[in-house]
Amino acid sequence: MSRLVPPHGGGALKPLLLTGTALAQGIEKAKTLPQVRMTSRESCDLIMLGIGAFTPLDGFMGEADWRSVCEKTHLANGVFWPIPITLSVSTEQANSLSLGQEVALIDDESGEIRGLMTVQEKYTIDKGLECRSIFQTEDPEHPGVQKVQEQLPVNIAGPVQALSEGEFPERYKGIYMRPAETRALFEEKKWHQVAAFQTRNPMHRSHEFLAKIAVETLDGVLVHQILGKLKAGDIPAEVRAEAIDVLIEKYFVKDTVVQAGYPMEMRYAGPKEALLHAVFRQNYGCSHLIVGRDHAGVGDYYGPFDAQYIFDQVSEEELRTRPLKIDWTFYCYKCQGMASMKTCPHGKDDRLLLSGTKLRKMLSEGEQPPAEFSRPEVVAILQKYYASLSSSEKVEVKLHKAATG
């Protein structure tokens, strides 16, 4: 019997991706059905449903689940879930669809058929309620709020069958992994307690320090980077993967760290997104989620440790994957090494506090980051990437509103 944490909801993984003959038949069937086009976020959510990362969901949420998630962080059946997973259409298209009707789900950017859905509900939502509940703000400058406000006016809901994982398996070959695959890998390595390290940036020495704290206390670490769309100016996943690979190879004990990627888009929802990160990491087989400073945050919408505090409101019965809470980490010149606010007694003048945002700005302007902030092998990969960009591609970063972490 497995000693890994069970999939979320207490049952088995629930992948909704068709395979073999069923897949071929599903694709042919989809060609005959009315089409519903999905945004990139919705397409990624469908893939997460397909690979079982959103176990125990069986499709896009109906109104009762949507409202219960917003108001109570639970599905209507009582299972813990922190962020709505929904699909929206225009009023005209909603009026053209009948309950019980099957539709083909199409990725809006590629035009590819991605899935099938049986329409069981059509409903409108209070976008303000969702934004206040999930993002704690209705500020239109917040990127997550923008996405919700841009949703079409009617949500459609029902069970899905996924027909494709899009570009992810081929484009990110070597790091793209499904929950069943990471679980099998952990079993093979005889890892039972595994910490996930969430990242949308290359790993610098502070991130390395966080992962090594987890290695000291658990069986291993899954460096789990997001592969879906980010915001302008962020470093592409392929570059991040190369930088993370060299860091693992040069600075970690062999077989203590695995790098993988998952096909989701950031919501930048801070505390609520930290909870979602824990939910699907449980499906990937991780017993812990490393939660550091400003996890999944953006700008100054959340306190630096709000994503840690929110886990205190969630019991282990509701969510088996628990936070590994770690304070702000940095290099201290007096300590002559990496430290955190809990271990370093010195003042801010002795500490190298350089955010990922400031680092990107330095690299885009050709400046050399301090060796105490990032390993030279990582810096070399990032410098090569920035040197390949045209001036117009080097996005200027507004420090006061830029995402951190």
Positions annotated as catalytic residues are 200-201
**Angle at 62 (CA atoms; ends 56, 68), nearest 5 degrees:** 80
Report d(CA 64, CA 189) in Å as an integer: 41
Structure-derived torsion over alpha carbons of residues 157, 267, 401, 225, reported in degrees to the nearest 10: -160
Q: Output 150-153 pairs: Cβ under 8 A, ≥24 positions apart.
A: 151/86, 151/88, 151/127, 152/88, 152/89, 152/90, 152/91, 153/88, 153/90, 153/91, 153/94, 153/124
Which alpha helices (H) appear in 190-317, and where do they start and end?
A: 205-217, 237-251, 271-283, 306-309
CA distance 27 to 163: 7
Q: What angle do CA 389, 392, 395 make, to 5 degrees?
A: 85
Q: Is the dihedral of CA 302, 221, 351, 312 positive or negative?
A: positive
How does strand 329-332 pair with strand 351-352?
Answer: antiparallel
- Whole-angstrom distance, CA of residue 92 vs CA of residue 90: 5
Residue type present at position 156: I
Asked whether the beta carbons of 202 and 234 are under 8 A apart, the reply is: no
Pair of tokens at residue 346: 């010195």
Asked if 311 and 274 count as a contact pair (C-beta separation under 8 A), the reply is: yes
Omega before residue 345 within 30° of 0, cis: no
315, β-bridge pairs: none
Q: Residue 38 forms beta bridges with which residues?
A: 107
Phi/psi of residue 236, each to 5°?
-60, 150
Distances (CA, A) of 295 to 84, 148, 244, 307, 404: 19, 20, 19, 6, 8
- Cα-Cα-Cα-Cα dihedral of 110, 111, 116, 121, to 10°? 100
